[in-house]
């Protein structure tokens, strides 16, 4: 082992992408193992590596961690991206949970049947512009600070910039009514660790295509 965190997942975004984002934003290099066959996945289960028979799997600090939320919480705490006290942590948790709800819709979008894609895309746009992004626009406007919580870069900021860029891939004008988020996007995208992650050749994965969907179904669908 090199000492770097080791990530095991399919070669695509899925539930691992937010983990990649958080590690990258913290300036942490990591290694990846890509699942390509059902047999690889079943071997992990047989070997007792996956506590709940699910990936993502992250090997870090001598632990084999599963469950996305637990992994993200650990990384955020380890790299000082989780607030200075319980109140800040609670705020970060609330913001993260809200963003996760939006990202879940995007996560499932590639698996939508063709006849449902237009409707589901409209739902993503509607939820982003009417339910989720207004919350963060208001927060940033009210406190006038660069970051969401405690005027310090945190896990919540990482999740929000990921969500903004991901929604923009599907709805390019989604930020047109959100000047605070437009400025936030520019600030976050220019932070050195995030800027590096956004460059070609980084571990950031492209949007899911048909090949990725086929691989995921082949591995995980019985």
Q: How far apart are CA 171 and CA 174, in angstroms?
A: 5
**Domain 86-190 sits in CATH 3.40.50.740:** no
Q: Please name the helix (run of DSSP H) or strand (run of DSSP E) that holds residue 58, with its range, or none.
A: strand 57-60
| 128-175 per-position pLDDT tens digit | 999 999 999 999 999 999 999 999 999 999 999 999 999 999 999 999
Q: Please name the helix (run of DSSP H) or strand (run of DSSP E) that holds residue 65, with its range, or none.
A: strand 63-66
Every domain of the chain and the residues it spans: 6-79+198-220, 86-190
Q: How far apart are CA 160 and CA 181, in angstroms?
A: 9
**Domain 6-79+198-220 sits in CATH 3.40.30.10:** yes
Helical H segments across the chain, by residue range: 17-25, 38-46, 68-78, 86-108, 117-127, 133-143, 155-170, 179-189, 192-197, 210-220
> How far does Cα 72 stand from its chain's mean position?
9
Buried b (16+ CB within 10 A) or exposed e, 134-158: eebbebbeeeeeebbbbeebbbbbb
pLDDT value of position 214: 93
pLDDT value of position 43: 93
| 201-213 per-position pLDDT tens digit | 999 999 999 999 9
pLDDT value of position 222: 66
pLDDT over 70 percentage in the chain: 99
pLDDT value of position 3: 87
Q: Name which of 117, 114, 128 is nearest 171 in CA terms.
A: 128
Structure-model confidence comparison of residues 1 and 67, the more confident one: 67
Pairing of strands 31-34, 63-66: unpaired
pLDDT value of position 221: 82
Q: Which two tokens stand for residue 39?
A: 């047999």
pLDDT value of position 1: 45
> How far does Cα 80 stand from its chain's mean position?
18
Query: Does pTM surpass 0.85?
Result: yes
| 61-109 per-position pLDDT tens digit | 999 999 999 999 999 999 999 999 999 999 999 999 999 999 999 999 9
Pairing of strands 57-60, 63-66: antiparallel
């Amino acid at each position: 082992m090199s000492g770097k965190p080791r990530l095991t997942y399919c070669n695509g975004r899925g539930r691992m992408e937010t983990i990649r984002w958080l590690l990258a934003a913290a300036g942490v290099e990591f290694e990846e193992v890509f699942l390509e066959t059902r047999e690889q996945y079943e071997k992990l289960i047989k070997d007792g590596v996956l506590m709940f028979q699910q990936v993502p799997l992250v090997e870090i600090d001598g632990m084999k961690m599963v469950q996305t939320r637990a992994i993200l919480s650990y990384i955020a705490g380890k790299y000082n991206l989780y607030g200075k006290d319980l109140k800040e942590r609670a705020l970060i948790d609330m913001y993260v949970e809200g963003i996760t709800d939006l990202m879940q819709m995007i996560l499932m979008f590639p698996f939508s049947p063709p006849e449902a894609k237009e409707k589901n895309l409209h739902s993503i746009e509607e939820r982003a512009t009417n339910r989720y992004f207004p919350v963060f626009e208001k927060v940033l406007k009210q406190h006038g600070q660069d970051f969401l919580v405690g005027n310090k870069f945190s896990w919540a900021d990482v999740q929000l910039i990921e969500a903004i860029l991901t929604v923009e891939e599907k709805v390019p004008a989604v930020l047109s009514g959100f000047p605070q988020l437009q400025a936030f996007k520019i600030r976050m995208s220019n932070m050195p660790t995030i800027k590096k992650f956004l460059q070609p050749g980084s571990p950031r994965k492209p949007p899911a295509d048909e090949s990725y969907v086929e691989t995921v179904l082949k591995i995980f669908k019985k």
